[in-house]
Structures are given as structure tokens and as C-alpha cells.
Structure 1
């Protein structure tokens, strides 16, 4: 069996309500969160990265100048993550209509590494499972890979129902890769300050 084809979709359209400013633009070690996420994705899939923008789209797009990514603007970003997944998948399929799957990730997991994405992809490439998800906080979530047979379901997502809903619908055909650091994300300024301190102390 040959290598399965995939695109990476980064969800970066959110309102950052609890933070009060665009989390996509927050800086860690001289890089904004969106640049960090984009660079990780590119290191794994150099040609097929789609970033879904919405709130603060103009400023976030400036952060991506010079990077080999495509952007999709979700004009309905206020409706929630489901609409961003839909826009991202439509855009990815527009660029490559014979995808075997998509890897969906967010930009506010500061401890995500390319190694974790490679681990997810390795498991997916070598199995016939529908979903390979990240395991943290005793649950499953993104980053996660969804097989093409789930594309119709992803395109039907509405409101704030994201990938987790699809994972739960197909839990018996889902395998996981441990990513305990995935439980750390940035929703408040307090969380951001804590993570900045951790970053300073890390080698």
C-alpha cells in the first residue's frame, strides 16, 4: 500500500473571548503562536497546509508572509469551530481533491512538536483506522487525523461542535497517541504568563 495523502488544517479563526486579544498573535520565544503552529505543520507537510482565519484575519495573515501555506477566511467564524473545520476542509479539497485524510490542529497548544504530528501520521499510515487522535486529560482531542470517509461528517459540523464530536461518534474506530502536554492551551492572560515563564526556563 502506498503512502496516504493528507493535508494539515490549522484552526486559527477564533474570537479569543476569554483572553481579550488575538491569541494567534501572542509571542513565545520571538515567534507568534500562529507562526509556531505554521512552521511545525510545514516541517511535517511542506506543501499542503491550510490555515483558517477569521477574527483579526488581516493581522494574522501578516504573520504568515513568506510561509508556504494557504489561507481560508471563515466569514462565519463567530459560529464556532465547526464552521472553521468546514471552511478548512473545503479549501484543502479545492487544492487537492483526492486526499486520503486531513490532520486538524489548533494554534494554542504551545508544547506541540513536529514529532507528535509525525507519530500521529505514522500510526495512521500503518493502519486502516478512521481517526488517530491525541490523548490528554484522560480524553481524546486534536491534533487528530480524520480519514476521508469522515469528510461528509466534518463538512456537516455546525456551531461550536468541533473534531471532538466526530471522534466520539467513531470512538470504536479511533486509535490514540499520548500527548499529555496537549492539555496545556492558552485561553487567558494568566495562562499565557505562566507558559511564558516555563518557556524561559526550558533549555
Structure 2
């Protein structure tokens, strides 16, 4: 099992700031996410913009496989293609995790992994909110890797997920964890204001 963290985006809506370098409890968001993914015991692949880039400085001491995405400007699917292509050939399934979702915890990642039954007919395990709305992470069976590698544009894995709704199992995560992503300075301000002791 592998976890693929998509972190090659340009943070274009942050007006000059890099959302993946935003500090949470003294740690950049991307490093925090990678550490949580590694704590599951899975192989972790992280897509990044071409170097040099400040995000590369976040990986000291972390055993993640870094993949530079030459065509990162295309959007999320360039990251998906590069990341899936870099997975070990024996990978049975990959969990695609967006790097800008700070509410995703180690428990959430383990909940996703524990839901997987590779012998079942399920091809996709998709996180939902407590109210049942689909979100992220999304876990794909290896038989769908060609579909992911064929994607173009910026839709991400949702396009493949829509194709296989009948082979999808929903995995509820607490509250709005599966939908909380932070794309703008205002998103970050609202999120920080909701933290305990703020």
C-alpha cells in the first residue's frame, strides 16, 4: 500500500504565500502531512514542483520518495500521472492525499487503510464527511492505475471516481475532515480561528 501526496501546485490563490509552508504548531503544513502519512507505515510518494523550490527543504530526515513534476502548471492530473508512475511495481493500492487538508489526522489515514479489502469488488475507497459528502483522501485499487495515468487537466482523481461509483465504498471520517482544504488566506484565517485556545 502506498500514499501519494499531491504537493506540486502553485498556491495561486494565496496571493504570494505558499499554503504548504504555512505553520501549524510550529511546523509547515506539508511536513506535518508527510509525517502523518509515514506514521501509517506505508510507502509515501510526494509530488513537488521542479527544483529549486522551498518545499524541498521540508524533507530532512523523512523517508519519503520525492517526485518532481515537470509539467506541474497543467494542474493536479500532472501530479497524479507522475506520482502513480513512480509507485513501486508491486503496489496493490494507492491513497491519494491532498497536501492542503490540515484536518486529516493519522487516525483518519488509518481508518481509510483499515477499510480496504483487496479481495472484494471495491475498486475505490472514498472518504466522506459525517453527513455523507464525498471528499478526500481517495484510495484506488491498482487496476485503476492506467485510468489515473491517462488523466489530463486539473480535475484530479474525482474524474476516475465518478466512473466507478458502483465499485466505490464510502469511508466516513469525523466532522468535515474529508472536505476541509485551505486555498486562500481567508480560508487559513477562518480555520485558525476555530482551533482550540485561539
Mark yes or no: TM-score above 0.5: yes
User: Structure 1 stretches of 5 or more lacking a match?
Assistant: 1-5
The match for 1:80 among 46, 55, 75 is 75
Q: What SS does the corresponding residue of 2:182 show, helix, strand or coil?
A: coil
Deviation, structure 1 residue 197: 2.6
The within-5 A match list for 1:47-196 is 48-54=43-49, 58-92=53-87, 96-125=88-117, 128=120, 129-136=122-129, 138-179=132-173, 180-196=176-192
| Higher helix content, 1 or 2 | 1
The 2-side partners of 1:33 and 1:190 are apart by: 16
Q: Which of these residues, 30, 36, 39, is aligned with residue 40 of structure 1?
A: 36
CA gap 1:37/1:17 in 2 versus in 1, 3 angstroms: same
Q: 1:152 to 1:110 in 2, by over 3 A?
A: same
Tell me the distance in 2 between the aligned counterparts of 1:69 and 1:197.
31
What number of residue pairs does the alignment pair up?
193
Which residue number corresponds to residue 3 of structure 1?
A: none
- Tell me, yes or no, if structure 1 residue 23 matches structure 2 residue 16: no
The alignment yields a C-alpha RMSD, in angstroms, of: 1.8
Misfit runs of 4+, over 6 Å: none
Displacement, 1:200? Answer: 4.6
Give the CA deviation at 1:191.
Answer: 1.1
